[in-house]
Structure 1
Amino acid sequence: MDVLEAIKDRHATRAFDDKAIDDQNLTAIVTDAQRTPSWGNSQPWEVYIATGKSLEQIKSRYAAAAQAGVTEAADLAKAHRGDFSTMANQNMGHWVGTFRPIIEADQTTYWDSRENLYRAPAIAYLVLGQNPNSWSIYDLGAFSQTLSLAATARGVQSLSSYELVKYPDILRQELAVPTDRTIAMGIALGYEKPDKVLNQFRTDRVATQQILHIQH
Structure 2
Amino acid sequence: MDVIEALKSRHSTRAYQPKAVDKETILKIMEGANSTPSWANTQPWEVFVAVGKTLDSIRSRYREHFTNQVPLNPDIPRPQQWPEAHQERTREMGAAHLKLLGIDRDDQEARAIMVERNLNFFGAPAVIFLCLDKDLSQWSLYDLGSFSQSIMLAAQHYGLNTIPAIMLVAYPDVIRTELKIPAHLNIAMGIALGYGDSDHIESKFITTRRPVAEFVRISGIE
TM-score, normalized by the shorter chain, greater than 0.5: yes
CA contact (8 A) 1:110 1:198 kept: no
The CA distance in 1 between the partners of 2:116 and 2:187, in whole Å, is: 24
Match for residue 145 of structure 2 among 138, 141, 148 = 141
Residues 1:109 and 1:65: Cα distance change in structure 2 (over 3 Å): closer
Q: Residue 107 of structure 2 corresponds to which residue in structure 1?
A: none
SS at structure 2 position matched to 1:159:
strand
Q: Structure 1 residues 109-118 or 119-128, which shifts more? A: 109-118
Q: Residue 202 of structure 2 corresponds to which residue in structure 1?
A: 198
Q: Residue 86 of structure 2 corresponds to which residue in structure 1?
A: 88
SS at structure 2 position matched to 1:14:
coil
Amino acid corresponding to residue 5 of structure 1 in structure 2: E
Q: Residue 217 of structure 2 corresponds to which residue in structure 1?
A: 213
The CA distance in 1 between the partners of 2:112 and 2:153, in whole Å, is: 29
Asked if residue 33 in structure 1 is aligned to residue 37 in structure 2, the reply is no
The CA distance in 2 between the partners of 1:71 and 1:7, in whole Å, is: 35
TM-score, scaled to structure 1: 0.94
Q: Residue 156 of structure 1 corresponds to which residue in structure 2?
A: 160
Q: Structure 1 residues 60-69 or 110-119, which shifts more? A: 110-119
The CA distance in 2 between the partners of 1:178 and 1:149, in whole Å, is: 28
Pairing 1:102-141 to 2, within 5 Å after superposition: 102-104=100-102, 110=114, 113-141=117-145
Q: CA deviation at 1:70?
A: 1.0
Amino acid corresponding to residue 33 of structure 2 in structure 1: A
Residues 1:122 and 1:37: Cα distance change in structure 2 (over 3 Å): same
Match for residue 184 of structure 1 among 183, 188, 192 = 188
Q: CA deviation at 1:131?
A: 4.0
Q: Residue 54 of structure 2 corresponds to which residue in structure 1?
A: 54
SS at structure 2 position matched to 1:185:
strand
Alignment RMSD: 1.8
The CA distance in 1 between the partners of 2:139 and 2:123, in whole Å, is: 32
Identity of aligned residues (%): 36
Q: Which deviations, in whole Å up to 9, do the C-alpha atoms of 1:72-130 show, x marking residues without a partner?
A: 110000113xx322221122122122222123269899566334221110000000001
SS at structure 2 position matched to 1:155:
coil
Deviation above 2 Å: which 4+ runs of structure 1? 103-115
Amino acid corresponding to residue 3 of structure 2 in structure 1: V
Q: CA deviation at 1:65?
A: 0.7
Name the count of aligned residue pairs. Answer: 214
Q: Structure 1 residues 164-173 or 108-117, which shifts more? A: 108-117
Q: Structure 2: which 5+ residue stretches go unaligned?
A: 104-109
TM-score, scaled to structure 2: 0.91
The CA distance in 1 between the partners of 2:71 and 2:147, in whole Å, is: 29
SS at structure 2 position matched to 1:66:
helix
The CA distance in 2 between the partners of 1:205 and 1:127, in whole Å, is: 28
The CA distance in 2 between the partners of 1:111 and 1:142, in whole Å, is: 27
Match for residue 97 of structure 1 among 95, 98, 104 = 95
The CA distance in 1 between the partners of 2:9 and 2:117, in whole Å, is: 22
SS at structure 2 position matched to 1:12:
coil
Q: Structure 1: which 5+ residue stretches go unaligned?
A: none
